Chain A
Amino acid sequence: MRITLDKFFTVLTGLAVMCMIAALFVILGPMIYRGLGAIFFRGTVEFRKMQLAEFEHGNIEKIKQEDIQTKQARQAVYNIIDKFRNGIDAEKLTDQAKQIDRTFGKELQLQDTERERYQELRGLSRDIRDKLIEAFSSTDIEQIKKHIDFVLRYESDERFRKTSAAQYFKLAHEFAQASEKIDFEKKDLYAGELNELEDIIVKLLGPDPNGNKPVLAQKRYGAARWDQAQKLMHELFWKEQWIEQENSKTLVRIETSRAEQFAGTELEPLFAYIKDNSKKMLNPQITFYWRYFLDDSTPGHYFGGIGPEILGTLFLTLLSMVFVIPFGVISAAYLTECSSEGPVIRVIRMCINTLAGVPSIVFGLFGMAFFVLFFIPFFGGPSQGCILAGSLTLAVLTLPVMIRSSEEAIRTVPQTYKEASLALGASKFVTFVKVTLPAALPGILTGIILSLSRVAGETAPILFTAGIAIGPVPDSIFQKTRTLSYGSWDMAVSDKLAAEVPHNQYGMVVTLVLLILCLNALAIMLRSRVFKKLKGH
């Protein structure tokens, strides 16, 4: 019994550790996997077009050629949609008919037709037009046939030959053809569906090449990534619906095939075509987007990289290091070398511990109240959040880390080094600078790297002091900056647009995490090397 309990206990402790390791992998695994998608992915021609237009990267000639090729492949899609539209889009058809009537009238005027003949033709044209419009808006197949037949009676009429009015008949034929395949009960439904479909196609292939250039950058291009494109195609093929169950509140998701929905219509071949030719239309290629770390981004991080964020993080952390290193190292030197334990030193140590325990958000408050509203304006700076205020706040935050690690580093320098130096007639100061400090340097460096990683990951202290979600790259330390940590928060919670591009969302946070993990790995390696050296000695 006791033995079983003991075994059980052993297993339990092992389980606890396994839990932690599992937590680490559960947290980091999916994030890193998805985050890597921001750099390694299959980029479509839209991606290359975007890169060329927004960031001027890429081979112009090649991309132009690619563009032409893909456009050819895409033309069929547009053609099919146009054809189908003719069958159902009464408004558009009506417009077309009216347009024909107007052009015909003008044509007649230009030809100086006799007044009588002119009026006769105009009247006839108007009749045809009205009948057509009636046919377009009708849902009764018999009625439509009647109207179309009426129109087509004039097809062989000499007077309309070789005039623009001939287009009436083309329109009528097309409509007749389309209407044969259409279930007119569903005409309105089709119109709605078609709009949905066209929206997806715009997302997939980019906006209509003949239309205006959209204002928002994210609407200027189609699916830039193959995984995005595949998702869109799935949406295109399968309509997603949430259906209420009879006796429960939960909605159940079902997917219906769009191809079946449009079965028998002019649109049916579209799905097969897109399925078969998707690669031709988008030309996906495996892309290693290393410029992700340098590029700026379009608003909302829809396209582009995280260059400004990385830059801002570097600015902020390095500047804070500039402030904290002298204070940290000197404090550590004083605490280890110059002072004997007394009440003053005890107070200082207690304050260092207190400082280490202050919540980061309180540092944020302090940074705002002191640095932003008091300290920087006191010296004539602007009273607003800026890199300087942020890095000063972060410097205060990381001061205890710096002091403790430097102190430890200085303490691990063997006393014998100092004695040897002093015995050679060096003063305490010279001994510290020439012997202790160089020997403690790897340890201090470890401390610096650890503080660096701590500072790089902090978000709360820069919320009110330096962080910003959208903005230009700062050109002085008196401006706010984007940072990786602030951006990660923003993209996860506040930015709706970012939610549409999970790879960019995850790419940002993974960059931050990997940056910090690399720094930590470096610190661990450095430390183990120092220990080995000291042990070997």
Chain B
Amino acid sequence: MPKRNNNDMVISVVKSIKDKYDTSELEMIDMEKIEQTEPYNSTLPEKSLSIIKADDFSFYYGSKAGVKNISMEIYPFMVTAIIGPSGCGKSTFLRSINRINDLIPNIHVEGKLFVNNQDIYSRQINLVNLRQQVGMVFQKPNPFPKSIFDNVAYGPRLQGIKKRSVLQQTVEESLQSAALWDEVKDDLKKSALALSGGQQQRLCIARALSTRPKVLLMDEPCSALDPIATSKIEDLIETLKNDYTIVIVTHNMQQAARVSEMAAFFCLGELIEYDLTTKIFSNPSNKQTEDYVTGRFG
């Protein structure tokens, strides 16, 4: 990927953050400094604006590359969409952020992937803490075959919370954040599998929120849902981005345009373009991206 100066992008990002939050106390975000900083510096700045940063990251299944040479930064409190044709490695990249891909035998990585300035593929990573703080919602709703309550309480219980009242509160908060509380508050004992597909997916979101993650990874969360359920999830994403950093993989370009602020276009395992969503969809700088978003290929 050609290196180019995309300070414009960074500035707009910071502006959007500044719009949302009172950042007067922050020393860290200094507009002038940023304008002078060379993006994609090979050495990591002491304090980075990004929460996730890939640095020439490649992921291999055996000898076949899932993604290769990805370099990008993902910023906090924004929705970042990863789009691209199927098989382009967008899910692989997403799933390597919380190292859930470790389950697959014969994999290896090259390059670095930082979460909170920490290379998560170094040996000493505490996977438990990483995954607790980088939550994930999967393509198909996958609640455990347990009750609704037990599903949401699973994460907190893993952290050692046993007290019923605390659990109850966490479950309620999580379900509320996932906009499911009003629908299920009367039968928390019901099996999660009895819910509708959209409800199940929101339950999965609530479950992911229950561990208070900082980042929420969403792997095509609406691909198995009907339009109504999809729009509910999209509304939910809209509200969640105030509190969480969301990375969403989607093959639905309208959805990416609707919910995301940043968008990355992947093709054949490579990052083709990464910019503000508006820019990607209105004025992409790469021919391939243009072809894709205008529907000429993929």
Contact = CB atoms under 8 A, between A and B. Distances in A.
Nearest to A534: B145
Among B100, B106, B154, B204, residue most surrounded by chain A Cβ atoms (within 10 Å): B154
A425 B211 contact: yes
Contacts of B211: 424-425
Contacts of A434: 154
A318 B188 CA distance: 38
A537 B208 CA distance: 20
Contact of A424 (B103, B105, B131, B145): B131
Contacts of A435: 144
Given A340-B105, A422-B131, A416 B207 contact: no
Interface string B233-270: 00000000000000000000000000000000000000
B166 interface: no
A420 B217 CA distance: 12
Contacts of B131: 422-426
A255 B200 CA distance: 80
A414 interface: yes
Interface string B107-138: 00000000000000000000111111101101
Contacts of B155: 424-425
A430 B138 CA distance: 20
B207 A424 contact: yes
Contacts of A430: 158
A423 B208 CA distance: 8
Interface string B189-207: 0000100000000001001
A326 to B, nearest CB: 24
B142 A414 contact: yes
B103 A426 contact: no
Nearest to B154: A424
A346 interface: no
A423 B98 contact: yes
Contacts of B98: 423
Among A423, A424, A426, residue most surrounded by chain B Cβ atoms (within 10 Å): A423
Interface residues of A, number: 24
B103 A421 contact: no
A420 B158 contact: no
Contacts of B127: 427
A132 interface: no
Given A423-B131, A426-B158, A533-B145, A415 B207 contact: no
B204 A420 contact: yes
Contacts of B103: 415, 418-419, 422
Given A425-B155, A426-B158, A419 B142 contact: yes
A103 to B, nearest CB: 93
B232 interface: no
Interface in A432-455: 434-435, 438-439
Interface residues of B, number: 30
A356 B142 CA distance: 36
A424 B208 contact: yes
A416 B200 CA distance: 13
Contact of B154 (A340, A418, A421, A427): A421
B256 to A, nearest CB: 22
A273 to B, nearest CB: 73
Nearest to A419: B100
Given A423-B136, A424-B208, A425-B128, A417 B144 contact: yes
B144 A423 contact: no
B130 to A, nearest CB: 8
Interface in A345-368: none
A425 B142 contact: no
Contacts of A414: 142
A323 B144 CA distance: 30
A423 B154 contact: no
A432 to B, nearest CB: 12
Among A420, A421, A430, residue most surrounded by chain B Cβ atoms (within 10 Å): A420
Nearest to A337: B103
B138 A416 contact: yes
A425 B129 contact: yes
Nearest to B137: A423
B220 to A, nearest CB: 13
A427 B130 CA distance: 11
Contacts of B210: 424
Given A340-B106, A416-B140, A418-B103, A423 B135 contact: yes
Nearest to A414: B142
Nearest to B101: A419
Contacts of B100: 419, 422-423
A419 B143 CA distance: 11
A537 B191 CA distance: 12
A435 B144 CA distance: 7
Nearest to B217: A423
Given A425-B132, A427-B128, A420 B105 contact: no
Interface of A: 340-341, 414-427, 430, 434-435, 438-439, 533, 536-537
27 contacts: A340-B105, A416-B140, A416-B142, A417-B142, A417-B144, A419-B100, A419-B136, A420-B204, A421-B144, A422-B100, A423-B100, A423-B131, A423-B208, A424-B132, A424-B155, A424-B210, A425-B128, A425-B130, A425-B131, A425-B132, A425-B158, A426-B128, A426-B154, A426-B158, A430-B158, A435-B144, A537-B145
Given A423-B136, A424-B210, 5 more contacts: A417-B144, A421-B144, A421-B154, A424-B207, A425-B159
Instruction: List the 8 closest pairs (A to B, CB-CB), nearest first.
Output: A425-B132, A416-B142, A423-B136, A424-B155, A425-B131, A340-B105, A425-B128, A420-B142
